[in-house]
Chain A
Amino acid sequence: MTTDFTGEYTGYRRDKPGLGLWPHQGKVAIVGWGMSPVDRRWDGVSMDKTYGAYGMLAIQQALDDAGVSRGEVDGMLVCPETGAGATGGSSADWGPYRQYFEPPYDTEYGLSRLNAKWIIDNMPGFDNVKFAPSNVPSIGEQMGMTAQAVADGHCEVALLVYGMNNFEGRYRHGGENASPEARGNRQWNAPWSSGDGLQLTGAITIQQYCARYGGTFEELIAPAVINEHRNGLMHSWGFYTLHGESGLTFEDYVNARPVLWPCRIWDCDRPVNAVGAFLFATAERAKDMKQQPLWVLNHNGGQGGTVRSSQETLDESEEARAQVASMVYEGSGLHAEDVDIFNPYDGYSFFLPLTLEGFQWHGVKKGESQAFFNGDISVEGPHPFTPGGGNLGVGRTRTAMYIDSIEQLRGQAGDRQVTIKNGRPETAICAFAPARSAAYIVLSNATP
Chain B
Amino acid sequence: MSKLIPIPDELSQPFWDAINERRLIVQQCADCPTLQYPPRPTCQDCGSGTLGWKEVEGKGHILSFFVVYDGRYQVRIPDQPYNVAIVTLDEEPLINFYANLPGTPVKEVPIGAPVELIFEEVAPGQLIHDWKLVE
Contact = CB atoms under 8 A, between A and B. Distances in A.
B72 A177 contact: yes
Interface residues of A, number: 44
A257 B63 contact: no
A366 interface: no
B72 A197 contact: yes
B56 interface: no
Size bracket of the B interface? 35 or more
A311 B36 contact: no
Given A211-B111, A258-B67, A309 B74 contact: no
A203 to B, nearest CB: 4
B90 interface: no
A263 B6 CA distance: 27
Contact of B38 (A180, A193, A194, A310): A310
B96 A313 contact: yes
Contacts of B86: 204, 310-311
Nearest to A173: B72
Contacts of B37: 309-310
A317 to B, nearest CB: 12
B25 to A, nearest CB: 14
A357 B67 CA distance: 26
A248 interface: no
A218 interface: no
Given A177-B73, A186-B4, A193 B100 contact: yes
Contact of A182 (B6, B84, B94, B107): B6
Contacts of A192: 3, 84, 98-100, 128, 130
A187 B95 CA distance: 16
A120 interface: no
B117 to A, nearest CB: 13
Given A191-B122, A193-B71, A310 B98 contact: yes
A208 B69 CA distance: 19
Residues of A contacting B: mostly: mixed
B74 A262 contact: no
Interface string A301-341: 00000101111010000000000000000000000000000
B6 A196 contact: no
A308 B73 CA distance: 25
Contacts of A185: 38
B49 interface: no
Contacts of B99: 192
B18 to A, nearest CB: 14
B67 to A, nearest CB: 4
Given A177-B73, A261-B81, A193 B5 contact: no
Contacts of B122: 191
A203 B64 CA distance: 9
B98 A189 contact: yes
Interface in B36-63: 36-38, 44, 63
A184 interface: yes
Interface in B79-128: 81-82, 84, 86, 94-100, 107, 111, 122, 128
Given A190-B4, A191-B6, A211-B111, A196 B72 contact: yes
Contact of A191 (B3, B74, B81): B3
Nearest to A212: B64
B65 A207 contact: yes
B134 interface: no
6 contacts: A193-B73, A204-B65, A208-B64, A258-B67, A263-B66, A309-B37
